[in-house]
Structure 1
Amino acid sequence: MNPHLVFWVPAGLRLALVLAGGALVWHFFGMFAGLVVALIGVCGMLVVQLQYLYQLSDWLHDPRSARLPDGWGAWTDIFSRLYKLRREDERNQAELAEWLARFRQAMTLLPDGVAIMDDVLFLEWCNPAAEQHLGLQLERDKGMRVTNLVRSPEFIDYIILGRYEQPLTLTLRDRKLIVQIIPFENRRQILVTHDATESERIERMRRDFIANASHELRTPLTVINGFLEIALSQPDLNVQTRMAHLRLMTEQGRRMQNLVEDMLTLTRLESIEYPLRPERVPMRPLLEQILQETQALSGGRHTVTLEADGPDIKGSTDELRSAFGNLASNAVRYTPDGGSIRLVWRVVEGKPEFAVVDNGIGIGPEHLSRLTERFYRVDKSRSRETQGTGLGLAIVKHVLLRHGATLAIASVPDKGSTFAARFPAASIYSQEG
């Protein structure tokens, strides 16, 4: 139907009704009465229209669909259309708010920092990662210039030069950050930060590992090759000298073999191709074997005892033998002659624990956090003298990780150390499980 007719026909009928009423009164009561009645009717219609205009004006100050009046006459259709428009707008706003909440939640969970700036670098918004990376606080710093918040000459030069095609690498707040600015819309820019501290640490460990492994292998190879050259250049060496050289080459060859075996063990422990296959580990026979090996390594120079009151557990016998043996052999290497070494298998607060307790030289607190790094040695000369490869505690760490266990280290210089491998309660073997 034509919308003009929908509006004008009812309005015309209402006006005609008022005039007809005035004419009827004129007929029965005279002209004056008829004009008065017609005027009152028109004024009433005008008041009603003004009332609805006022309600519309009031609603426009707070346009909520719940506050919209019902209306009368043509106003019913007007308010009905406004209601539909407002409801649709409210739905759109709700959807936008939901999407905005999802976007902010996603930005909050991102490991990379994201900050939105205007064209003159005033901060508009940033996620928690950016706050952590750059030392910002959104509530405090919103509306402030980013170059005044991030005090770094490299960062300021990067912004001034405006060469945003390549990211900037800088060190800030003891972190290595990769920073890049991305133009966004006409008057906004996105600042993205990536924390490369862990990647740098891993890369440094890789470089150190290659350098240390090369150094460890080069030493025995140099000894072996040197003695072979002597043997070739001096074929008339006496038997005693020859035997001494052979003994030294055998020692260095065994050292190199141990190093290669430990490196292969670490590779296997880290590989996903060799998952842990738990089995029942008879702890008493295993610990007695480790006791014998420790006593043999000590050669009677230490008092080595075993206290085994704990249960059998689930795990890999070979891997646990390697881990426990490394802990015990370390105690031998770093305990002076005449010292004591205790091997303890017990349950602490419902959890199995293997501890190696010695009264050796101890370890300074500055070394404790790095003990499980590959080739890290507290006393390099002492470790090499006792044929240590520098990989023992790294092997222990990876074996315990595969068994869901942790390594706790307590040490006091010149008093001794305690290395404790703590297993979860679920690792205890039971006939039902």
Structure 2
Amino acid sequence: MNPKLLFWVPAILRLSFVLVGVGILWYFFGPIAGLLAGLLAMCVLLVVQLQYLYRLAEWLDEPSSSALPDGWGAWTDIFSRLYKMRRGDEKNQAELTEWLARFRQAMSLLPDGVVIMDDVLFLEWCNPAAEKHLGLKLDRDKGMRVTNLVRSPEFMDYIILGRYDQPLSLSLRDRKLIAHIIPFENRRQILVTHDATESERIEMMRRDFIANASHELRTPLTVINGFLEIALGQPKLDAQTRLAHVKLMSEQGHRMQNLVEDMLTLTRLESVDYPLRPERVNIPALLEQVLQEAKALSAGRHDISLEVDGPDIKGSTEELRSAFGNLTSNAVRYTPGQGRIEMTWRQTAAGPQFEVRDTGIGIRPEHISRLTERFYRVDKSRSRETQGTGLGLAIVKHVLLRHDASLTIESQPEQGSCFAVKFPQKVVWGD
């Protein structure tokens, strides 16, 4: 039915009843009684309308579908419509609230920072990554200008110039950030920050690795090529000189081969396509093999001992042999003749532990934190003498990472060093 009819028909009927009643009273009791009755009826209707208007005004101050009053007459339809409208609004608001909560949760999990600002750069919202990147605090800084919170000349220039088509490289809070402002809507802007610190570090390590590897390979190749040129240019060299040249070329060839093998080992350890396949590691047999290799390298110049008093563990026998062998061979290389090297495998309260303790030349404190870097050498000349590749401790670090183990180093110059590999209790075989 037409909404207008729904409003006017009941109203006309109510007025008709009032007029009929007034007419009846007029007929039986006279005009004064009829008029007074009609006036009273109209006053009652007016009071009822005013009461509903007052209740409607109260409800509009705090609209809620549960608090909507019941109506009478035309007010029934009015309140019914308001109820449906309010229920729709509440449903839409609940959906918007849910979507907003999902959006904020999703933004909170992003590794990149997200800052929502108005057209004059006042902070409206940011996720935890942005707080970490830019030093913001949403509860504290909401409503403040972002340019007053991020104190950086490069960022200020980026904002002033307004060239948002290109991202900004920003050094802030000891981090390398990539910032990008994206305008959206008419009065909103999004600032996105990406932490490129790790990417920069990896890229720098890659460049250093290539440069160092090229340098390390160049030396033996230069020696080999030099002697070959001598051999070609002077075919009548005496046998003793030729033998000395061949011996040096052989040493450099072995050095180059060891370097390539260590680089391949590092690549394999870092590859996600080469996961660790745990097996039972026979520790006494493995360490006995490491001991024999150390004695062969020492050639009787050192007192080398081994003590095993601990359990077998889960892991890769080959990888652990490489790690333990590198630690032991380093001890042999950097310990003068007649020195002592002690290898120990024991069970501790925290888990199994392997130690290599020597009476060698020791390491100054400023070098200890960098020992596991690729090609890092405390004394380059001594490393060349001992035929080290500079990758041994880097291999040790990656092997231990794959076994959830850690390496601690204690050393004093001219007194010796202690390299301790600590495994968690969970790697013990049978646990």
TM-score computed with the length of structure 2 as normaliser: 0.92
Shift of 1:421: 2.5
Shift of 1:192: 1.8
- Partner residue of 1:295? 295
Question: What is the CA–CA distance in structure 2 between the aligned matches of 1:133 and 1:271, rounded to whole Å?
Answer: 30
Going from structure 1 to structure 2, the CA distance change for 1:363 and 1:25 (only over 3 Å counts) comes to: farther
Going from structure 1 to structure 2, the CA distance change for 1:344 and 1:47 (only over 3 Å counts) comes to: same
Paired residues of 1:168 and 1:178 also in contact (CA < 8 A): yes
Shift of 1:186: 2.4
Q: Tell me the secondary structure at the aligned position of residue 143 of structure 1.
A: coil
Question: What is the CA–CA distance in structure 2 between the aligned matches of 1:317 and 1:122, rounded to whole Å?
Answer: 59
Shift of 1:414: 4.3
- Partner residue of 2:67? 67
Shift of 1:407: 2.7
- Partner residue of 1:79? 79
Letter in 2 for 1:22: V
Question: What is the CA–CA distance in structure 1 between the aligned matches of 2:79 and 2:377, rounded to whole Å?
Answer: 83
Question: What is the CA–CA distance in structure 1 between the aligned matches of 2:159 and 2:298, rounded to whole Å?
Answer: 64
Letter in 2 for 1:128: P
Question: What is the CA–CA distance in structure 2 between the aligned matches of 1:159 and 1:337, rounded to whole Å?
Answer: 66
Structure 2 runs not aligned, ≥5 long: none
Structure 1 runs not aligned, ≥5 long: none
Going from structure 1 to structure 2, the CA distance change for 1:416 and 1:22 (only over 3 Å counts) comes to: farther
Shift of 1:388: 0.8
Q: Tell me the secondary structure at the aligned position of residue 20 of structure 1.
A: helix
Q: Tell me the secondary structure at the aligned position of residue 103 of structure 1.
A: helix
- Partner residue of 1:194? 194
Deviations 1:98-150 (A, max 9, x none): 11111122222221122223333333332222222223333333333333333
Shift of 1:412: 4.2
**Following superposition of structure 1 onto structure 2, how do residues 29-428 of structure 1 map, counting pairs within 5 Å?**
29-349=29-349, 351-428=351-428
Letter in 2 for 1:74: A
> Identity over the aligned pairs, expressed in percent?
76
Letter in 1 for 2:384: R
Shift of 1:245: 2.2
Going from structure 1 to structure 2, the CA distance change for 1:96 and 1:165 (only over 3 Å counts) comes to: same
Question: What is the CA–CA distance in structure 2 between the aligned matches of 1:108 and 1:363, rounded to whole Å?
Answer: 45
Q: Tell me the secondary structure at the aligned position of residue 277 of structure 2.
A: coil
Letter in 1 for 2:309: D
Letter in 2 for 1:396: V
Deviations 1:322-379 (A, max 9, x none): 1110111122223344433221212222522222223434334433333222112222
Q: Tell me the secondary structure at the aligned position of residue 347 of structure 2.
A: strand
Question: What is the CA–CA distance in structure 1 between the aligned matches of 2:135 and 2:48, rounded to whole Å?
Answer: 62
Letter in 1 for 2:84: K
Shift of 1:319: 1.6
Question: What is the CA–CA distance in structure 2 between the aligned matches of 1:156 and 1:72, rounded to whole Å?
Answer: 64
Q: Tell me the secondary structure at the aligned position of residue 193 of structure 2.
A: strand
Question: What is the CA–CA distance in structure 2 between the aligned matches of 1:118 and 1:101, rounded to whole Å?
Answer: 20
**Following superposition of structure 1 onto structure 2, how do residues 13-32 of structure 1 map, counting pairs within 5 Å?**
13-32=13-32
Deviates more, 1:20-29 or 1:98-107: 20-29
CA RMSD of aligned residues (A): 2.2
Question: What is the CA–CA distance in structure 2 between the aligned matches of 1:114 and 1:176, rounded to whole Å?
Answer: 16
Question: What is the CA–CA distance in structure 2 between the aligned matches of 1:64 and 1:333, rounded to whole Å?
Answer: 83
Question: What is the CA–CA distance in structure 1 between the aligned matches of 2:44 and 2:369, rounded to whole Å?
Answer: 90
Deviations 1:137-193 (A, max 9, x none): 333333333333333332222233322222222322222222222222223322222
Going from structure 1 to structure 2, the CA distance change for 1:143 and 1:276 (only over 3 Å counts) comes to: closer
Paired residues of 1:284 and 1:308 also in contact (CA < 8 A): yes
Shift of 1:261: 1.1
Paired residues of 1:361 and 1:416 also in contact (CA < 8 A): yes
Q: Tell me the secondary structure at the aligned position of residue 342 of structure 2.
A: strand
Paired residues of 1:26 and 1:32 also in contact (CA < 8 A): yes
Going from structure 1 to structure 2, the CA distance change for 1:273 and 1:121 (only over 3 Å counts) comes to: closer
Shift of 1:284: 0.7
Shift of 1:413: 4.2
Letter in 1 for 2:407: L
Question: What is the CA–CA distance in structure 1 between the aligned matches of 2:188 and 2:51, rounded to whole Å?
Answer: 47
Deviates more, 1:179-188 or 1:102-111: 179-188
Q: Tell me the secondary structure at the aligned position of residue 346 of structure 1.
A: strand
Deviates more, 1:393-402 or 1:17-26: 17-26
Question: What is the CA–CA distance in structure 2 between the aligned matches of 1:140 and 1:355, rounded to whole Å?
Answer: 50
Letter in 1 for 2:148: N
Question: What is the CA–CA distance in structure 1 between the aligned matches of 2:57 and 2:414, rounded to whole Å?
Answer: 87
Deviations 1:198-223 (A, max 9, x none): 11111110111111111111111112
Question: What is the CA–CA distance in structure 2 between the aligned matches of 1:55 and 1:330, rounded to whole Å?
Answer: 90
Deviates more, 1:105-114 or 1:414-423: 414-423
Letter in 2 for 1:152: S
Aligned residues: 431
Question: What is the CA–CA distance in structure 2 between the aligned matches of 1:50 and 1:369, rounded to whole Å?
Answer: 84
Shift of 1:27: 4.2
Shift of 1:401: 2.7
Going from structure 1 to structure 2, the CA distance change for 1:176 and 1:354 (only over 3 Å counts) comes to: same
Letter in 1 for 2:396: V
Shift of 1:299: 2.9
Q: Tell me the secondary structure at the aligned position of residue 354 of structure 2.
A: strand
Letter in 2 for 1:134: L
Paired residues of 1:310 and 1:346 also in contact (CA < 8 A): yes
Question: What is the CA–CA distance in structure 1 between the aligned matches of 2:127 and 2:31, rounded to whole Å?
Answer: 79
Letter in 1 for 2:252: Q
Q: Tell me the secondary structure at the aligned position of residue 129 of structure 2.
A: helix
Letter in 2 for 1:131: E
Question: What is the CA–CA distance in structure 2 between the aligned matches of 1:350 and 1:173, rounded to whole Å?
Answer: 36
Paired residues of 1:333 and 1:382 also in contact (CA < 8 A): no
Q: Tell me the secondary structure at the aligned position of residue 235 of structure 2.
A: coil
Q: Tell me the secondary structure at the aligned position of residue 70 of structure 1.
A: coil
Question: What is the CA–CA distance in structure 2 between the aligned matches of 1:35 and 1:233, rounded to whole Å?
Answer: 141
